[in-house]
Each structure stands twice: as C-alpha cells, then as structure tokens.
Amino acid sequence: MRFKTNLRKLTCLLLLSMAGVSAMAADYVHVKVSDADGTATFFALADKPVVSFTSDFLVLTTKKQTVQYPIADYRKIEFTEATGITSVDASSKTGIFTIGSSLKGEQLPAGRKVTVYAVNGEVIGSATASQCGTVEIPLNGKSGIFIVKTYSKTFKFIVK
C-alpha cells in the first residue's frame, strides 16, 4: 500500500516537472549562432531546425533549407527568448533570413545590398534593403546550393 502511494506521488511529481519544461521551451523563439567576431545569426524555432556537424561545417537543416557555416568561424549556439529581444543601433544589425521560394531578409540596415549566388558564381539575384530593413530575392524555382553575401557575412544554404 505504501509503495503504491509513493509511486503515485513520484508519478505526479514527474508529470508536474515535465509541464514546467514544456512551458520553459515555449519561451524560446530562435536559435542564435554566434561567430568568432560576435556576429549573431538567428533561426526561428518554428522552422524546427536540426543542428549537426560535419568535419568542417556547422549545419542547420529544416524541411525547406540547409545552411552551412565553417566551424572555425562559429563559437556559440544558444536559444533566445522572445523577452530578450531589444532595440539595437541600425549599424549593428545582422539580419534574420528565411528561405522558401525566395530569400527574405529582415532587420537589415536600410540601403545594404544582399546578393544570392549559385555555386558556379552565377548571380541568382540581388537587392538592396528597404527603409523598413527588408529584402526579398526570388529564387525562380531553382534548387541546389546557394551562397548569400551580405554587408557583414556570407553563408551557404541548400534548397531541395
């Protein structure tokens, strides 16, 4: 009898502790990847990114895209909370990018150029960030490996 009571208490305690874990996880909205010079790149958790490593690259994969970063350039991966977002000076913005049928950038300094290249060097598209800090470059239905060059960083992604 005492064993069953203790087992019930333990089960209730475990269920309550798991409820707290799911509540804490809901507060995180991005994965933040920081490189050696302090530049940060954010990935939305809603896209369910999977982080893996090859011998030379940190790889973030979603159903829509795969992005690779040289391991030597990146120092930290962390989760960021919605309440941790603060205003920053426009000159220090690095932008948030999403990839689907087009490359979309947000929170970029106005007037900054973003270019998408194919691996063979062909320019797929180029655009300048609007006054709102947004940019959109259509991929025109192309798939493969692409390279994005911005004012502050360069990264690769794969469209399947």
Domain regions of the chain by residue span? 2-159
Q: How far apart are CA 159 and CA 147, in angstroms?
A: 11
Q: 42 is written with which tokens?
A: 């954010």
Map residue 47 onto helix, strand or coil. helix
pTM for this predicted structure: 0.47
Q: pLDDT higher for 80 or 7? A: 80
**Is pLDDT of 150 > 70?**
yes
**Greatest mean pLDDT among 2-11, 20-29, 68-77, 82-91:** 68-77
- Reported as a pLDDT band with limits 50, 70 and 90, residue 131 is very high
- Which pLDDT belongs to residue 123? 94
pLDDT band at 113 (very low <50, low <70, confident <90, very high): very high
pLDDT over 90 percentage in the chain: 21
Instruction: State the first-to-last Cα distance of the chain, in angstroms, to the nearest integer.
Output: 58
Is the predicted pLDDT of residue 20 greater than 50, yes or no? no
| Count of Cβ atoms closer than 10 Å to residue 139 Cβ | 17
Q: Which helix (H) or strand (E) holds 158?
A: strand 154-159
Q: Count the helices and strands in the chain (H runs, E runs).
A: 1, 13
Average pLDDT in the 64-73 region? 77
